Amino acid sequence: MNLKLKSTLWWIFAVFFTIAMASYQKRTGPTYPISGKTELNGKEIKYKLIRTAENDKDAEIVINVPDTSIKGTLTYKRYKSNDSLTTVPLTRRNDTLFFMMPVQPAAGKMMYEITLSSDKEQVVLKAKNDEFAVMRFKGPVPLYILIPHILAMFLGLLFSTRTAIEALIGGARTYKLALWTLALLVLGGLILGPVVQKYAFGAFWTGWPLAGDGTFNLFRLGDMTDNKTLVMVLAWVVAIFKLRKDPKNKFWPAFAAVMVMIVYLIPHSVLGSEIDHTKAPKL
């Protein structure tokens, strides 16, 4: 097998690995909708509980329930607050029941559950851990910023994987590929990432050492998403420094790629920006 074919096959492997990681990222994390199904009046009801919404309008929570004998209520309050729970009826619109969740400031969260009932029985729609679903509001991010950010981040993962392979097989392009990896991670994570963060939550950087509230604090980690980005970039900075001294170094490119993989295995938006409503007045 010639070198060109081998390189192509390794690129194909890296592409499929990146697609798998992208799929994992999409399906996990605290902002991905909670999907499920239940049964009421002998009929199956599929539902999806949204967990993220833009804060330029109220968020529509809707369940498809064609059976008009079934009614519903939604119980909610601000997440991390001393508010009392509020229960409101769902409104019927043709085959659906819906409620417009009141809009919150960026990083504001609401916790809620839905109860569907008929004359004889009722079911409660919650998260899989039998807790309230939690949804976070964020500011709208322009697609011309969001799409390049996402593209650069996953291309960074692609090149990170391919660079590690190149190093482990003793290829001659490890250093060049490492530079591409770092450039993509810096572009996606440290340039476009903070712009996305600014649109969505009003601050360019909320990770260490800014403690999540914009104040300098070495002893608080702050936003996990920003911290993960910092870890990936620093790992590849070290790897490139080591490769400049020894272009055949295998450990550091592999180590940096493993760090990137670990970061992508952590669900997106875990320990992300949120408002602590216990420090605000009750509704």
Percent pLDDT > 90 in the chain is 56
pLDDT, position 22: 85
- pLDDT tens for 94-126 read 999 999 999 999 889 999 999 999 888 889 987
Q: 194: which 2 tokens?
A: 């903070």
Residue 218 has pLDDT above 60, yes or no: no
Residue 219 has pLDDT above 60, yes or no: no
Q: pTM of this prediction? A: 0.83
Residue 128 has pLDDT above 80, yes or no: no
pLDDT, position 62: 95
Environment class of residue 32 by beta-carbon count within 10 Å: exposed (0-12), middle (13-18) or buried (19+)? middle
Q: State the angle between helix axes of 193-201 and 224-245 in degrees (0 to 180), rounded to the nearest 10.
A: 170
Domain with CATH 2.60.40.10 in the chain: 34-138
Beta 86-89 vs 34-40: how paired, if at all? unpaired
- pLDDT tens for 74-83 read 999 999 888 8
pLDDT, position 3: 73
Q: 270: which 2 tokens?
A: 């875990």
Q: 117: which 2 tokens?
A: 């009932």
Distance in Å from the first CA to the final CA of the chain: 69
b/e per residue 77-93 (b: at least 16 CB within 10 A): bbbbbebeeeeeebeee
Higher pLDDT, 206 or 283: 206
Q: What is the CATH number of domain 34-138?
A: 2.60.40.10
Rounded Cα gap, residues 278 and 8, in angstroms:
55
Average pLDDT taken over every residue of the chain: 87
